[in-house]
Structure 1
Amino acid sequence: MKTRDTFIAAFIVLLIGALAWLWFSPSGLQRAPDISFKNVEGEPLSLQQYQQQDRPVLVTFWATSCPGCIAEMPHLIEMYHELAPRGLEIIGVAMAYDPPNHVMRMREERNIPYPIVLDIDSEIARAFGDVKLTPTHFLINPQGRIVHHKIGELDMDKVRDRILAMLGSQPQG
């Protein structure tokens, strides 16, 4: 009888632990939205295309009036130059309230190499849970799961390490 009680207690502890893990880590289980959009050059993009190519994606919502966005932009550009040849994609989503001419001017002035998308009707922001604050970031693994969600500036070293782990042993470009 004691063995049976021990087994039941262990099962209950495991069940509670699994439920607690599910409750406190929803971002690791949440699928990224299956959305398509066009970058500022008019080229069609979709998150699904990167999953089919087994590539991680960092989606970053930003605005030209956001000091934190501007401060981290050089770091994102540096990360893109370093890791894009190994498979990383970064997509910058300009918020609906940001005038398109301001976005385009900043893109040119800062020489942003990664795709920029104008979210004029807030469709992309709504697809990601109604993003309102900038910067807001979503790191999506190659299987299409959101593995990191951050409102505010990123810890670049931490994000870089997570991306490198996803890229694994893929050879450098």
Structure 2
Amino acid sequence: MPALWLGHGYLEGRSLSPDLGFTTIQGQRVSLGEWRGRPVLLAFWASNCRSCLEEMPELAALFRDYEGRGLRMAAVAMPYDLPNRVLSLAGKERWPFPVALDPLGELAGALGVELVPNCYLLNGDGAVVATRLGKPDFRELRDTIDKLLREG
């Protein structure tokens, strides 16, 4: 399936609740409010999604390039994913970004995520500025992140 820019739609300018968040596979609870003031990339994925796994090295490179400049990122496993598979894959691959479980679908439900791979880019105010269903155009994503970082 080719990647589609979904636009902003009903999410345009909508700030997510700062209480909304996720739990990393290390058991750390992270609320989006803790990441306010910085761009945030939420990459929804599943361990049985080949496209998701194929984009992970590019997401890792993007994270390494931008983490020091303020980008926050999490790879959020879909609620139906098996936690032991997520843990196994993350341990084997050693992704540099936080990997999260969303077993109750709290975060996926708030954003209306049903299909993966699916990325959401938030600005420093926690508002959704871009969404992408399918593999991102990483050049375009980097340009958008650069713009968000310049705007502060």
Q: Which TM bucket (shorter chain)?
A: 0.7 to 0.9
Q: Return the match for 2:122 from 112, 122, 140.
A: 140
Question: Mapping of 1:125-164 within 5 angstroms?
Answer: 125-129=108-112, 131-164=113-146
Q: Secondary structure at the match of 2:56?
A: helix
**1:10 maps to which residue?**
none
Greater relative contact order (Cα 8 A, min sep 6): structure 1 or 2? 2
**1:8 maps to which residue?**
none
The CA RMSD measured in Å over matched residues stands at 1.7
Aligned residues, how many?
144
Question: Mapping of 1:36-75 within 5 angstroms?
Answer: 36-51=21-36, 54-75=37-58
Q: Could you state the TM-score of these two structures normalised by the residue count of structure 1?
A: 0.77
Q: Write 1 or 2 for the structure with the bigger share of helix.
A: 1
Identity %: 34
Q: Which has the larger radius of gyration?
A: 1
The runs of at least 4 consecutive aligned structure 1 residues that moved more than 6 Å come to none
Structure 1 alignment gaps of length 5 or more: 1-23
Q: Could you state the TM-score of these two structures normalised by the residue count of structure 2?
A: 0.88
Q: Which residue identity does 1:44 align to in structure 2?
A: R
**2:12 maps to which residue?**
28
Q: Which residue identity does 1:29 align to in structure 2?
A: G
Q: Write 1 or 2 for the structure with the bigger share of strand.
A: 2
CA drift of 1:25 comes to 5.3
Structure 2 alignment gaps of length 5 or more: 1-7
Q: Secondary structure at the match of 1:139?
A: strand
Question: Mapping of 1:87-126 within 5 angstroms?
Answer: 87-126=70-109
